[in-house]
A and B are shown apart, each in its own frame.
Chain A
């Protein structure tokens, strides 16, 4: 069948999941939760009760195959939760553990690793942190962290920066060069292992991040995800998965900003009339609406591509992340400007969205990076 088999729509189950996610997140983990975590300088950086509830809702198992105790619900389903999470900016291990950690195990884990770790993740007993980037601007080639063979195992040395959940996750998923081969390996490292030094980095968005130094960390052979096989392609696919889900989050974030702004235009009066009656603001809002419609389609198509492993996936992932980065920047900047002075105050939530938009865009590459990558993938 070469006809277009999948409509660009959510199916009934995906829609129900999206509705349930919105209800849960807005009811139990609204933005006030992140604000409180920030104001109290919470050491964990997320609310454990909320995370427990997410586990009970089955969200940790959405990308896990049924054989390993998961729901096998796919990326389109998971993307809806990320999108809704973009509206509430809920802090949780969901992205690092249930999206990237699970995907790494499903893509490259051995039988033993999968059967030991996936059920633990599903049950909420294990969290992971992807320790990939080493430089402030995303560069997948720049991996200086290395693994030196020693006896039956390996010794790990290097530095990872801006690791999501790096200071809170149980285990770290570390990309490193393997010996002298130049191949990429993915290693599972206990955060509490000797030689691992974790420094929490407080970011503008108040979400978890850390800088991690590895000094002669001893690993067993079984700690490597694909053994000594080159995991470079796995790592690239993990970045693509991460970027599509970040695009979904940025879509939700942008929609929330847009809706709050339109609401404000329909409430705020100046010169005796609603400011939304001014064409200068109407056209900017309508332009943003049109851009959001375009973004929605790219995000959904990229999520579907991940589920069907379509040949176009790498290109769609970059297009979705690039557009999401651009539009989230536009949506949050317009939100501040159209709210006027009050948009600059910490009392309003807009600042949280503005900050999160930039952090989420920079993670795994901003729109400039992804436009360049798209061009390279197309051969120009």
Chain B
């Protein structure tokens, strides 16, 4: 423990010296969070510098092995680092599917060559990864996916279509679920492959959402050549990796409510409605806000408790489904309430005076939270079957 205290002191001093002031401000815009990659345009020198100094220590991925460029920290040290970053409201230096999804999968299932090729780039934020999962006819029923991957001797050829690929238009590489054995039962014929988005035959088309933004794309794959050494894990054993990756995705989406943004709603309400003898004038809205803040606090504490339980080797599996379900439903309620707090102003769509409709557009974006990464109903299915043991026999 004494060592841990020393680590805390050193970390605190280092963060104090190296985390730029502007990187301690709450994240507001999408670009405030650095996603990295070759096409990334840093919003400030501070953002660039913050990524560089953290990546140099491997602290973009603090608990990954140092031999691949990670921080090599123990679980306890990682927790201390996280706490010390939270203490000064430091932004995460890098936020990416490389860190949250394909990186962990490569470390667990990838060949030595794949790790050496990709992990350091992920840690350094040099490559933006996107995920090729859903297809037009295979969303919740992901295991039915039909994108074909044929063996052509020294390489694979991939044909098909992916949809809901997050930021495929900005991404450098894709990790992609493909069907390698059409004859096998649906879960037994899937593999996971990696390819460069610049490969001939890859076409990306952004999808315009109700929010007016286009965070997702359709990705068309037309005779795309994939090198054999870019197969992750064993051929036809991709479903195991897929579920492993989905667990990480659920954690990421569910953790939306835990970012360093001040999630409380009542300061907005006080600003918009004002106080009448110390209370919000609208008593029904007041109760709605209090109930939401109760659930938000309970959710944050639950994420903390589940992390503590995992660190102590306790806890149940499928916890990520609980967090994903609760976290996204609570986040949707948050944005419904934000619109209510702002009234008609919250539904303005354009104009400087109305922040270009940011309240409405964020509200609409959250409708996808309980769909992407497995719908709320899929999470409830998982809880019912895996945790509660319902529906067997």
Residues of A at the B interface (CB closer than 8 Å) are 2-4, 7-9, 262, 265-266, 274, 276-277, 279, 281-283, 285-287, 289-290, 293-298, 300-301, 319, 322-323, 368, 371-372, 374-376, 378-380
17 A-B contacts (beta carbon < 8 Å): A8-B304, A276-B390, A282-B381, A283-B381, A289-B322, A289-B383, A290-B383, A294-B302, A297-B302, A323-B294, A371-B287, A375-B286, A375-B287, A375-B289, A378-B293, A379-B278, A380-B286
Contact between chains at A9 and B308 (CB < 8 Å)? yes
* Stretch with Cβ within 8 A of A (4 or more), from B80-88, B189-197, B233-241: B80-88
What chain A residues lie within 8 Å of B83 (beta carbons)?
Answer: 3-4
What is the bound-complex CA distance between A292 and B289, given in angstroms?
A: 21
Take A2-B87, A9-B312, A380-B289 as given contacts and tell me if A286 and B326 are in contact as well, using a CB distance cutoff of 8 Å. Answer: no
Since A287-B325, A376-B278, A379-B266 are in contact, a sample of 18 more A-B pairs with Cβ atoms closer than 8 Å, ordered by chain A residue number, is A3-B80, A8-B304, A266-B389, A279-B384, A283-B377, A283-B381, A286-B380, A289-B388, A294-B299, A296-B302, A297-B301, A297-B305, A322-B291, A371-B294, A372-B290, A374-B293, A378-B293, A380-B270
What chain A residues lie within 8 Å of B388 (beta carbons)?
Answer: 262, 276, 282, 285-286, 289
What chain B residues lie within 8 Å of A274 (beta carbons)?
Answer: 391, 393
Q: Which of B270, B289, B388, B393 has the most CB of A within 10 A?
A: B388
Q: How large is the interface on B (under 10, 10 to 19, 20 to 34, 35 or more residues)?
A: 35 or more
Nearest chain A residue, comparing its CB with the CB of B300: A297
What chain A residues lie within 8 Å of B384 (beta carbons)?
Answer: 279, 282-283, 285-286
Nearest chain B residue, comparing its CB with the CB of A302: B301
A-B pair count, CB < 8 Å, reads 138
What is the bound-complex CA distance between A302 and B289, given in angstroms?
A: 20
Select which of B280, B380, B381 is within 8 A of A380 by beta carbon: B280
Expressed in whole angstroms, the minimum distance between the Cβ of A312 and any Cβ of chain B is 10
Interface on chain B toward A: helix, strand, loop, or mixed SS?
helix
What chain A residues lie within 8 Å of B293 (beta carbons)?
Answer: 374, 378
Contact between chains at B301 and A8 (CB < 8 Å)? yes
Instruction: Determine whether B31 belongs to the interface, using a CB cutoff of 8 Å to chain A.
Output: no
What chain A residues lie within 8 Å of B302 (beta carbons)?
Answer: 293-294, 296-297
What is the bound-complex CA distance between A262 and B385, given in angstroms?
A: 11
Select which of B8, B299, B326 is within 8 A of A3 by beta carbon: B8
Take A274-B393, A371-B290, A380-B280 as given contacts and tell me if A319 and B326 are in contact as well, using a CB distance cutoff of 8 Å. Answer: no
What is the bound-complex CA distance between A98 and B308, given in angstroms?
A: 30
Nearest chain A residue, comparing its CB with the CB of B294: A319
Take A9-B305, A319-B294 as given contacts and tell me if A277 and B312 are in contact as well, using a CB distance cutoff of 8 Å. Answer: no
Within 8 A of A (CB), among B369-388: 377, 379-381, 383-385, 387-388
Instruction: Determine whether B297 belongs to the interface, using a CB cutoff of 8 Å to chain A.
Output: yes
Instruction: Determine whether B16 belongs to the interface, using a CB cutoff of 8 Å to chain A.
Output: no
Contact between chains at A371 and B322 (CB < 8 Å)? no
Nearest chain A residue, comparing its CB with the CB of B387: A289
Contact between chains at B298 and A368 (CB < 8 Å)? no
Instruction: Determine whether B243 belongs to the interface, using a CB cutoff of 8 Å to chain A.
Output: no
Interface string of B258-278 (1 = CB under 8 A from A): 000000001001100001001
Contact between chains at B322 and A297 (CB < 8 Å)? no
What chain B residues lie within 8 Å of A265 (beta carbons)?
Answer: 390
What is the bound-complex CA distance between A301 and B299, given in angstroms?
A: 12
Residues of B at the A interface (CB closer than 8 Å) are 8, 80, 83-84, 87, 266, 269-270, 275, 278-280, 286-287, 289-291, 293-295, 297-299, 301-302, 304-305, 308-309, 311-312, 314, 322, 325-326, 377, 379-381, 383-385, 387-393
What chain A residues lie within 8 Å of B87 (beta carbons)?
Answer: 2-3
Take A294-B326, A374-B293 as given contacts and tell me if A323 and B278 are in contact as well, using a CB distance cutoff of 8 Å. Answer: no
Contact between chains at A380 and B291 (CB < 8 Å)? no
Contact between chains at B305 and A300 (CB < 8 Å)? yes
Nearest chain B residue, comparing its CB with the CB of A2: B87
Expressed in whole angstroms, the minimum distance between the Cβ of A277 and any Cβ of chain B is 4
Select which of B269, B287, B314, B380 is within 8 A of A372 by beta carbon: B287
Contact between chains at A277 and B279 (CB < 8 Å)? no
Select which of A9, A285, A323, A378 is within 8 A of B314 by beta carbon: A9
Select which of A7, A319, A375 is within 8 A of B308 by beta carbon: A7
Nearest chain B residue, comparing its CB with the CB of A277: B391
What is the bound-complex CA distance between A71 and B388, given in angstroms?
A: 38
Expressed in whole angstroms, the minimum distance between the Cβ of B273 and any Cβ of chain A is 9
What is the bound-complex CA distance between A159 and B133, given in angstroms?
A: 68
Select which of B8, B84, B298, B389 is within 8 A of A297 by beta carbon: B298
What is the bound-complex CA distance between A285 and B391, given in angstroms?
A: 12
What chain B residues lie within 8 Å of A276 (beta carbons)?
Answer: 388, 390-391
Nearest 8 pairs of A and B residues by beta carbon = A297-B301, A282-B384, A294-B298, A286-B383, A8-B305, A276-B390, A286-B380, A371-B290
Expressed in whole angstroms, the minimum distance between the Cβ of B309 and any Cβ of chain A is 6
Nearest chain A residue, comparing its CB with the CB of B84: A3
What is the bound-complex CA distance between A71 and B323, given in angstroms?
A: 37
Take A3-B83, A266-B389 as given contacts and tell me if A298 and B290 are in contact as well, using a CB distance cutoff of 8 Å. Answer: no
Q: Which of A274, A319, A368 has the most CB of B within 10 A?
A: A319
Contact between chains at A290 and B322 (CB < 8 Å)? yes
Select which of B275, B301, B326 is within 8 A of A298 by beta carbon: B301
What is the bound-complex CA distance between A265 and B390, given in angstroms?
A: 7
Expressed in whole angstroms, the minimum distance between the Cβ of B159 and any Cβ of chain A is 35
Expressed in whole angstroms, the minimum distance between the Cβ of B314 and any Cβ of chain A is 7
Take A274-B393, A286-B388, A380-B266 as given contacts and tell me if A296 and B290 are in contact as well, using a CB distance cutoff of 8 Å. Answer: no
Expressed in whole angstroms, the minimum distance between the Cβ of A370 and any Cβ of chain B is 9
What chain A residues lie within 8 Å of B84 (beta carbons)?
Answer: 3
Expressed in whole angstroms, the minimum distance between the Cβ of A55 and any Cβ of chain B is 32
Take A3-B84, A4-B83, A296-B302 as given contacts and tell me if A374 and B380 are in contact as well, using a CB distance cutoff of 8 Å. Answer: no
What is the bound-complex CA distance between A286 and B390, given in angstroms?
A: 10
Q: Which of A283, A287, A293, A295 has the most CB of B within 10 A?
A: A293
Nearest chain B residue, comparing its CB with the CB of A274: B393
Contact between chains at A374 and B290 (CB < 8 Å)? yes
Expressed in whole angstroms, the minimum distance between the Cβ of A203 and any Cβ of chain B is 27
What chain A residues lie within 8 Å of B393 (beta carbons)?
Answer: 274
Expressed in whole angstroms, the minimum distance between the Cβ of B11 and any Cβ of chain A is 10
Take A289-B383, A295-B298 as given contacts and tell me if A262 and B390 are in contact as well, using a CB distance cutoff of 8 Å. Answer: yes
Expressed in whole angstroms, the minimum distance between the Cβ of A39 and any Cβ of chain B is 34
What is the bound-complex CA distance between A341 and B379, given in angstroms?
A: 30
Nearest chain B residue, comparing its CB with the CB of A9: B308
Contact between chains at A368 and B381 (CB < 8 Å)? no
What chain A residues lie within 8 Å of B298 (beta carbons)?
Answer: 294-295, 297-298, 319, 323
What chain A residues lie within 8 Å of B387 (beta carbons)?
Answer: 286, 289
What is the bound-complex CA distance between A294 and B327, given in angstroms?
A: 10
What is the bound-complex CA distance between A300 and B302, given in angstroms?
A: 10
Nearest chain B residue, comparing its CB with the CB of A298: B298
What is the bound-complex CA distance between A262 and B304, given in angstroms?
A: 26
What is the bound-complex CA distance between A298 and B393, given in angstroms?
A: 36
What chain B residues lie within 8 Å of A290 (beta carbons)?
Answer: 322, 325-326, 383
Contact between chains at B390 and A282 (CB < 8 Å)? yes
What chain A residues lie within 8 Å of B309 (beta carbons)?
Answer: 9
